[in-house]
Amino acid sequence: MVTVEMKGLHVVKSRGKTYVYAWRGGPAVKCDADPGTPEFFAAYQEVITSNAVPNRKAFKSVIIRYRASPQFNALADSTKKNWRPWLDRIEEHFGKIRTAQFGRIEKILPIIRRWRGKWEQNPRTADYGIQVLSRVLAYAVDPLGELNRNPCEGLKQLYSANRSEIIWTPEDLARVKPHCSSDIWNAVELAAHTGLRLGDLVKVCWSHVGEDAIIMRTGKSRGKKEAIIPLYPELRDLLARIPKRSTQILTNSKKRPWHKDSITGLFPEIKTKAWPEGTNLHFNDLRGTAATKFYLAGFTVREIAEMMGWEEGSVDKIIRRYVSLTAALKERIKKLSREAENG
């Protein structure tokens, strides 16, 4: 059996016969005329507006009508090709929800944010999904008139060309900790103390830990560059608390090394529990938190910039925004006292 997609129609050729459906998985268009003719279009419209649209109170009916709308069909072919898989995902996740529920903004936004959270490690992808959902919701507002407002309006985009100045504050960490298992919390803390990206974090082995620093090749540079994280007191204390159950530092409850995708899959639910209203924080924003810890440990802005691979200006903005002068001075005094005791 051969199947062919034709601008939204789904054409199936089997045993010498041709069957045309309004969309993949949709109702059949029973018409002997060729697609594109007025006769076929009339039959197509009849299918769309008939009882073949299930439960008109459900959001699925909005999606079905949007697929057949002039607004969707006016899009470029490449756009329609890219949007169809997203319309399928939206239908799968939101299709059974009553359309009226999207009018209860405070109730539906957490659900939308949780759905977006599936792609939080790929902010551009997450934003693209919201773009398609927003367009469908806009169609429900006008011309359908089934909603008074599009709940996606005002949602901030996740993607930013430079997120280096976004960090997890101590208050953020305190808020998320109760919702983390001890094994996930070890990953959060290690990220906040080393500044390593999640892909590198799960690969850190105990053999990478030397007398004075953690030294490892980074995946971001395809192994061409080394990450060197000095073992300042807070990081030493953290490593001492993490149980040694594998060659890799981070392990799950089964004492097996964590995989990046496992943490990526679990973290959106953890964030949703901590922030039912939603949050723009990503796991990798813990890198900025590490920059503040490096500064409080006594490293200069230039040294931190070199460790993080960032511009000095970005590091300086983080320090000015998140580290108080009093806290910095206290840490410097403690460091000088320790050096005097050891001297």
Domain ranges in the chain with CATH number 1.10.150: 55-159
Q: Is the pLDDT assigned to residue 192 strictly greater than 90?
A: yes
- Radius of gyration, CA atoms only, the chain: 27
45-49, 150-154, 241-245 — most confident range: 241-245
Instruction: Give the single-character DSSP code of 216.
Output: E
**Could you give the CA distance from residue 15 to residue 331 in angstroms, rounded to a whole number?**
79
pLDDT of residue 325: 59
Top pLDDT among 336 and 323 is at: 323
Instruction: Name the pLDDT band for 6 (thresholds 50, 70, 90).
Output: very low
Q: Which residue has the higher pLDDT, 220 or 218?
A: 218
pLDDT-derived band at 172 (thresholds 50, 70, 90) equals very high
Pairwise CA distance, residues 22 & 194, whole Å: 54
Structural contact between residues 212 and 230, judged by C-beta atoms closer than 8 angstroms: yes
Share of residues in the chain with pLDDT > 70 (%): 83
pLDDT of residue 92: 93
pLDDT band at 278 (very low <50, low <70, confident <90, very high): confident
- Statement: the pTM of the whole predicted model exceeds 0.85: no
DSSP code, position 210:
-
Mean pLDDT of 180-208: 94
Give the amino acid at 166. Answer: I
- Residue 4: pLDDT band by 50, 70, 90 thresholds? very low
Q: Residue 62 — very low, low, confident or very high, per pLDDT cuts 50/70/90? A: very high
Instruction: Pinpoint the residues of the chain covered by CATH 1.10.443.10.
Output: 170-342
37 against 112, higher pLDDT: 112
Among 212, 210, 214, 171, CA closest to 190: 214
Task: Compute the distance between CA of residue 39 and CA of residue 53 in angstroms, rounded to an integer.
Answer: 21
- 8 A C-beta contact, residue 218 and residue 227: yes
Whether the per-residue pLDDT at 149 is higher than 50: the answer is yes
Q: Which residue has the higher pLDDT, 253 or 188?
A: 188
55-159 is classed in which CATH architecture? Orthogonal Bundle (1.10)
Q: What average pLDDT does range 51-66 have in this prediction?
A: 78
Exposed, middle or buried, 113 (CB in 10 Å: 0-12/13-18/19+)? buried
Highest mean pLDDT among 11-25, 93-107, 265-279, 294-308: 93-107
CA-based nearest residue to 296, from 153, 192, 226: 192
CATH code of 170-342, in short, is 1.10.443.10
As a whole number of angstroms, the distance between CA 119 and CA 294 comes to 30
Whole-angstrom distance, CA of residue 67 vs CA of residue 308: 46
Higher per-residue pLDDT: 24 or 243: 243
- Model confidence at 3, in pLDDT bands (50, 70, 90)? very low
User: What are the CA-CA distances from residue 186 to residues 131, 190, 263, 267 (Å)?
Assistant: 35, 6, 12, 13
DSSP string, 149-203: S-TTTTPPPS--S--TT----HHHHHHHGGGS-HHHHHHHHHHHHH---HHHHTT
